[in-house]
A and B are shown apart, each in its own frame.
Chain A
Amino acid sequence: MSTSDATDGIKNDIDVMTDFPNNNKKGNIVEIKGLSKVYGDAVKVHALRSVDLTVARGEFMAIVGPSGSGKSTLLHMIGILDTPSEGTILIDGQDVGRMSDAQRSATRNKMLGFVFQYHHLLPDFSALENVMMPLLIAGKNKKEAASVASEILKDVELADRMEHRPNQLSGGQCQRVAVARALANNPALVIGDELTGNLDTRSSKLIYDLLRKLNKKYNQTFIIVTHDDKLAEKTDRIVRIVDGQITG
């Protein structure tokens, strides 16, 4: 009896953190075929030209390339925030192009975590409440959301800053809250677009080490756009984009 109780306890702990059994599935988390994006009507900008890309589950990948080469555009497509002009994107085997607006929202909430160059934290909410937000959107109750969120804030070394509002935190701290928020729903795929672009080297290294650790711990997939070659070199795989095309 005592043995089964103990196992149950552990199981519950794991359940909270790995709500998505997807993390343990095999196969590709992202499969992109012939993806193109054209902006504008009169003057056409080919932001992406027939991109093919697969990302394996658990991969920690960097996307690099010159400014304006289409990195953000690609990331927004993978994040189901934007729609392709041509081509297909499968996220966890599901065709994003066939999803309704509501399904897209739900998939973003359950499968994806985002960190952008600007943290975009809700200014009127504390660090803890900001991290709770994706869980509340997912329909979790307040108590559960608070307990998960405080765990993650501990992981990003902000245990003593939980009640602070964004304007009471430094840029690096805000960005760590944003990372914690991206991880709150234990997403299978985390997307970061120049997420350390505004940070000093120390903060930026802290965040990368953190992401790396979490990547190992929970087998989450990370796709990170960066300018910083040193950081890129630490990842599993570097994808280079030039002029809307993958060059290697």
Chain B
Amino acid sequence: MCRLAAITSKDYISPMETILALETMKEGHDGSGLGLTLKNLGGEFEKLKKYPILSGICSKTGKKTLDDFMNKQGFKLKHEWKPKIKPVKGIVARDCYFARAYDYPASYKNKSIQEKESLLMNTRLALRRIGEPGESIFAFSFYPDVITLKEVGDPLEVAEFFGLDRDGLKAKIVLAQGRQNTNYAIYLYACHPFFIQGYCSMTNGENTAFVPIREFLMSRGFSGYIGYNSDSEVFTHILHYTVRQLGFPLNYYKDVITPLKPSEIEQRKDSEALRLMKHSLRPLCIDGPNMVIGFAPDGTCFMVQDSKKLRPGVVGGVKGKYALMSEECGVDKAVPKRDRSKDIFPMKYDMVIVSPDAQEVKVWNQLQG
């Protein structure tokens, strides 16, 4: 079972804080990989908030292809961050890891957010398509104020390898996953967290209904619903589909992935809508075992369980800094000075929602709506 660690804070924090918290849960993952998503960036990216950042990895030849492609699309490089690689035994360094802030093509300057978002996503997908065959380019995310890093290896060692302990890279939200490789080959696109157009999530556990969910998403006519090297990627896409595409409030994500029974629906004020949703979104129902941690574009973070709560999860912290972790020891590491009695262990009906800048934690109970 993978271990998940997320910290949301009003101040910029180093990603190392999240990785050290993840490290405390080490017995839960086999060090087969680390995935890291940073949102609301500080440090050298603090002044570049409106520029989309392309995060990825490329080979030497891939770099040329990447530059040519981005130039041709009209993107102008504004700033580039490269990790200060420190060779670590066991991690095979690839040629070039990067997070590059670009300026939009001139023709997009005055376009709406939605149009910009589709340009960014389609550019990322095009790069993925070009670079995937020979693994010359990996593009993990391309979005303003978001960086994604992924590499195979023990999380702490990967962090050292990236030099995150010596780097000034900072963010207000950091999601990290220590991968426990199961039935799929270790492949960078299979590492969590997954990101699409401002929505991000990571999860542990398998997804038994992966195939019908994937088929449903892929048949929505939305070009971003591809990939699926991991069965968990659909959790991110369901989030995106529910909130962005269908326009439902965030808490309905819970109703989509773990719909209530008809008798329980009757108790909700929005029962009529839920009944229709349960039918229409039937293929997106998950069965667990899963605990999902994610964020929405506005910086709201959440934790949610499968309908039987087959995976652990805990949220704790203080106003201004909350940790969402697989295990209590992770929260202890991230926010040691807190009232532990207030820690939240969400049960099967709960969705823990931490507001932007970690101002407030709410437990939304699905039964009560």
Chain B binds chain A = no
